[in-house]
Structure formats: C-alpha cells, structure tokens
Structure 1
Amino acid sequence: MPKSMPRIVVHPPAPTGGRRVHIDAEILGVAYNVADLLEFLRRAGLDPDEVRLNDPMIDWRGGGPDVWSLPPN
C-alpha cells in the first residue's frame, strides 16, 4: 500500500505576523513567507522543488500563499 501524502496545515496569520505550520500532528514552526514554509517542508523530508503551493495536501487557512500578515485596521 503506498504511503499517504502528509497533511500540511498553514494556519491564519497571527496578530504579530507569520503563520503557524504543521504537518500531520507535528508543529514545524511559524513561517513569515513562502521561503520559510518551503524550508520547514524540506526539514520535514519533502523536496521543496516538488511542492506545489496549490496542492490539495496543503490546507491554507485564513488566506493562500500570498497572505502572511493580517490586514491593517
């Protein structure tokens, strides 16, 4: 049976900036941009050159890959 793809969750931006990222149940850290996210995924064993930001394995919450901070009030 093939190994299932990991579930990556990118949480909504925090009030202080950045987005918490976890893969399956493991918290990877807070990413402040796409480069941070790709580095976390690389450290988790994924090839960043193979990651597509629109892949359904990435659950973007509170905005897509172009949202890294809350809008100004």
Structure 2
Amino acid sequence: MAWQSPIVVHPPAADGGRRVTVRGQDVGVARSDRDLMEFLRRAGLGEADMALDDPHLVEWRGGAHVWTGP
C-alpha cells in the first residue's frame, strides 16, 4: 500500500469549494484555510499540529492554498 498524507485537500470544484478527507473519511467541503482548520480541529488535531504546508500531514491536490469562487 502506498504512503498517503493523513489529510487530503482535493482539487477545487466549480464553486471553489474543496472536498477534504481525513484518514480516508470525508469531513466536508472547505472554502478557505479557516474552514480547513475547523475540520482538522474536529478531527482531533491541536492547533500546534496544524501545519497546512507540511506535505507529511496535508496533501494538496490541484494547488496548495488555492481558494477560488465567489
């Protein structure tokens, strides 16, 4: 089995939202870093553990920190 980051931020949808999965479980659609941080908090990560640019923690598909839409 290939190694995968525990958190995956999927490519932006047409409305700019990005689906987020944590350890393979869908946790919602984020539209900003703030949304993403809330999903991670709910998944049990402490603020000190939330390094959004750490590729060992977060895999950004379709571009890192790219939030588009209205």
Q: For residue 17 of structure 1, report the CA deviation from its aligned partner.
A: 1.7
SS of the aligned residue for 2:8 comes to strand
Offset at residue 68 of structure 1 (A): 1.2
Paired position in structure 1 for 2:29 = 30
The CA distance in 1 between the partners of 2:15 and 2:9, in whole Å, is 16
Structure 2, unpaired ranges of 5+: none
Consecutive aligned runs of 4 or more in structure 1 exceeding 4 Å deviation: none
Match of 1:3 in 2: none
Q: Which has the higher helix share?
A: 2
Cα distance in 2 for residues equivalent to 1:34 and 1:68: 8
Unaligned runs of 5+ in 1: 1-5
- Alignment length (residue pairs): 64
Measure the CA separation in 2 of the matches of 1:40 and 1:59.
15
**Which aligned pairs between 1:1-73 and structure 2 lie closer than 5 A?**
7-56=6-55, 57-65=57-65, 67-69=66-68
SS at match of 1:28: strand
Larger radius of gyration: 1
- What is the TM-score when the length of structure 2 is the normalising length? 0.82
Work out whether residues 39 and 48 of structure 1, in 8 Å CA contact, stay in contact via their aligned partners in 2: no
Residue identity over aligned pairs, in percent, reads: 53
